[in-house]
Amino acid sequence: MSEPKKAGNMFLDPTSHSSRLFREAVKYMPGGNSRTSIIYSPHPFYFHSGQGCVITDVEGVERLDFHNNYTSLIHGHADPDVVKAVSQQLKKGTAIGALTESEIQLAKLIVDRVPSIEQIGFANSGTEAVMLTIRIARAFTGRDKIAKFEGSYHGSYDHTEVSVMNSPEEGGTAYEPASVLDSEGIPGTVLKDVVVLPFNDEEAVKHIIEKHRDTLSAVIADPMPSRGGLIRPREGFYKFLREITRKYGILLIADEVMMFRLSYGGGQEMFGIEPDLTSLGKIIGGGLPVGAVAGSAKIMEMFIAGGKHARVPHAGTFNANPVTMVAGRVTMGKFDKPAVEKLNGLSDNFRTKLTGLFTLMKVKAQVLGAGSMFRIHLTDDPINSYRDAYMYPHRKEMMTKLFFKLMDTGIYIAPEGIGCLSTAMAEKDVDSFIVAMETSLTTLIEEYPELRA
């Protein structure tokens, strides 16, 4: 490749390398891809390489990566320590039908940093982790139903792909949301076992949980629901949730697949959650596929086979594969308390500067989030629920335009306005984002004057 080009969206040009690759891709894969969450129209760019917080597309255009593979890269791309550890492991073997010491090391690291976790078992995706966590909860309690929050995403598992993306109209009342399937192909019978709760609404949650108290095995919560708007939990919300679930013998699951990056001990430490079970993924795999189920020894013993059939079998050809385990160990080892503090401090500055820019430019926009996570909403109406965060077509259209304008000015975030920082970033990268945002908003408000406050 020639000299890196600093910005631009030449990947959209029909003659670009990305366009040509995409035309080739659609011949062999439905919609030209294997991951619906990263697809946008007319087509995405093709990635060439990444180094730290900079990614380069196949056109040779560099962008600052505030996407970080949907938050799974905590140190950015190709961290030298991770590359070294993985390279050494590659030479020793990648898939082994036996145990390796590396899984003990990553397990110990996570058990040591989270008080609610006494035991942990690995899988290969957050989806699998959630699926097993729910299965354990059902086996432990002898009940079938689960409750989840409206708008919360927990991966592509039948019982959690309920009420994830529905419009407020499809969801019935806000006080008692309906259970809505998010995908065709999921048996309708799933709906009778999935109860939907409105996040942060204690009175409604109490009412719904009490209605199902004898049949609910667990309540699963993304500590700060990303798809639900990245709204912080209200003060005392998780204390209330812990008390009511404990009262009725219902387990509390913290789905920390995305939010584990929030602090040293994850979202549960940041928001004072005391879960029975935790599902993990993303950052703990150091950039490789991973999932994990974790919790108290008393519940996790469901996995123990010990010569007989485990109550909950936990197989998986690539579970705890040593490449993921060493990448995870090095990554999490480096994401120690000082690193967490530094990253979160930088991210606080980021949100403060962005809010300052919105005010200065008199734009109807706001940024929500905590720790190293952020989500931009193109409205100045208060966002207190999934329904407030829901993007009707007009808001979605403006967000998509903003996304492309940011890409054009050298910034990569997720198309719905979600992003995160990595330890590979510094204040200068935050400032580059702010400059790019100012440039992008200047033309966006010309096209959409209704965005002016």
Smallest gap from Cβ 227 to ligand PMP, in A, equals 8
Nearest to ligand PMP of 19, 156 (CB atom): 156
Nearest to ligand PMP of 410, 419 (CB atom): 419
Is there binding between residue 281 and ligand PMP (CB under 6 A)?
Answer: yes
- CA quadruple 199, 203, 205, 206: dihedral positive or negative? positive
Number of residues that bind ligand PMP (CB under 6 A): 14
Strands 291-295 and 366-368: unpaired
Distance in angstroms (rounded) separating the CA atoms of residues 214 and 241: 16
Is there binding between residue 278 and ligand PMP (CB under 6 A)?
Answer: no
| Residue ranges in 42-101 that form contacts with ligand PMP under rule CB under 6 A | 70
Helices and strands in the chain, H and E counts: 14, 14
Stretch of 4-12, 48-56, 121-129, 269-277 lying at the interface with ligand PMP (CB under 6 A) = 121-129
Strand ranges of the sheet holding 418-420, from the earlier edge strand across to the other edge: 366-368, 373-377, 418-420
Q: What is the DSSP string of 157-202?
A: -GGGSBSSS--TTTTB-SSSBPP-BSSTTS-GGGGGGEEEE-TT-H
DSSP secondary structure code for residue 234 in this structure: P
Residues 329-344 as b/e (b if ≥16 CB within 10 A, e otherwise) read bbbbeebeeeebeebb
Nearest to ligand PMP of 131, 209 (CB atom): 131
Nearest to ligand PMP of 266, 410 (CB atom): 266
Smallest gap from Cβ 294 to ligand PMP, in A, equals 14
Nearest to ligand PMP of 16, 160 (CB atom): 160
Smallest gap from Cβ 56 to ligand PMP, in A, equals 24
Smallest gap from Cβ 152 to ligand PMP, in A, equals 7
Smallest gap from Cβ 265 to ligand PMP, in A, equals 17
Distance in angstroms (rounded) separating the CA atoms of residues 102 and 105: 5
Stretch of 120-128, 140-148, 228-236, 317-325 lying at the interface with ligand PMP (CB under 6 A) = 120-128
Distance in angstroms (rounded) separating the CA atoms of residues 202 and 307: 45
Smallest gap from Cβ 431 to ligand PMP, in A, equals 28
DSSP secondary structure code for residue 182 in this structure: S
Are 179 and 196 within 8 A, CB to CB? yes
Stretch of 14-22, 177-185, 251-259, 415-423 lying at the interface with ligand PMP (CB under 6 A) = 251-259
Interface pattern 147-166 for ligand PMP (x via CB under 6 A):
------xxx-----------
Nearest to ligand PMP of 11, 271 (CB atom): 271
Is there binding between residue 127 and ligand PMP (CB under 6 A)?
Answer: yes
Is there binding between residue 126 and ligand PMP (CB under 6 A)?
Answer: yes
Nearest to ligand PMP of 370, 430 (CB atom): 370
- Name the phi and psi angles at 97, rounded to 5: -80, 45
**Other beta carbons within 10 Å of 176:** 15
**Three-state SS letters, 38-79:** HCCCCCCCCEEEEEECEEEECCCEEEEECCHHHHCCCCCECC
Cα dihedral 215, 217, 223, 226 in deg (nearest 10): -70
16, 18, 125, 141: residue in contact with ligand PMP (rule CB under 6 A): 125
**Which residue, judged by CB position, is nearest to ligand PMP in the bound state?**
126
Count how many residues are written for the chain. 453
Q: Across 248-394, where does the E strand assignment appear?
A: 251-255, 277-281, 291-295, 366-368, 373-377
Active site positions, annotated:
153, 255, 282
Smallest gap from Cβ 284 to ligand PMP, in A, equals 11
| Residue ranges in 219-238 that form contacts with ligand PMP under rule CB under 6 A | 222, 226
Applying CB under 6 A, the residues found at the interface with ligand PMP are 70, 125-127, 130, 153-155, 222, 226, 255, 257-258, 281
